[in-house]
Amino acid sequence: MPRYVAPPGMPPEVEAIIDVIGNRARAAIIRELVGQGPLTAPELSAVAGASVSAANRHLRELEASGLVTADVEAGQRRGRGRVPTWHVNPDVVHTYIERLRAYLDAE
Q: What is the residue range of 38's domain?
A: 12-105
Domain membership of residue 63 (yes or no) is: yes
Q: Is residue 49 part of a domain?
A: yes
Q: What is the pLDDT of residues 24-39, one digit of tens each?
A: 999 999 999 999 989 9
Residue 3 lies in a domain: no
7 is a domain residue: no
Number of structural domains found in the chain: 1
**Residue 86 belongs to domain with CATH number:** 1.10.10.10
d(C-alpha 18, C-alpha 22), whole Å: 5
Residue 69 lies in a domain: yes
Report if residue 61 sits inside a domain.
yes
pTM: 0.84
CA angle 45, 97, 92 (to 5 degrees): 70
Q: Sort residue 56 into left (φ over 0), alpha (ψ -120 to 50) or beta.
A: alpha
Contact 66, 16 (CB under 8 A): no
Tens digits of per-residue pLDDT, 59-99? 999 999 999 999 877 666 666 667 889 999 999 999 999 99
